[in-house]
Amino acid sequence: MNLLRNFVDRWYDRHRDEIFERTKDDPEEAHAEFVGIAKRIHKFKLERLLLNCHENRLDPGFEISNAAGFNKNGAIPPTFLKGD
């Protein structure tokens, strides 16, 4: 399902600067937007197609971890955070 992944990547590339500009002064707003996106991906059961794909399995050469408080209210669906 690379077509869907490519569509999402292109959408993010077009909107990234706007998102960062809108949320640069308010980390809570940035977090709320991320949670909203995660919930929509979960609602439509797109985790496997968007997150569990070849592109996300590449070794970046460094350790990636969740920051303390990342899912502080438990609002991010567990399947969104799961790393199969």
List Cα–Cα distances, 3 to 10, 35, 38, 42, 53, in angstroms: 11, 24, 19, 18, 12
Both tokens of 37, joined, read 């996106």
Higher pLDDT, 13 or 77: 13
pTM of the model: 0.64
Tokens 């937007």 identify what position? 33
Q: What is the pLDDT of residues 19-77, one digit of tens each?
A: 888 888 988 888 888 889 889 888 988 887 777 666 666 666 766 566 667 777 888 88
Burial label for 17, CB within 10 Å (0-12, 13-18, 19+), is exposed
Residue of higher predicted confidence among 84 and 68 = 68
Question: By residue range, what is the domain housing residue 22?
Answer: 2-81
Q: Is the pLDDT of residue 14 over 90?
A: yes
Predicted confidence at residue 65, as pLDDT, reads 60
Contact present, 51 and 44 (Cβ < 8 Å)? no
Count of domains in the chain? 1
Judging by beta carbons within 10 Å of its beta carbon (0-12, 13-18, 19+), is residue 79 exposed, middle or buried?
middle
Q: What is the pLDDT of residue 20?
A: 85
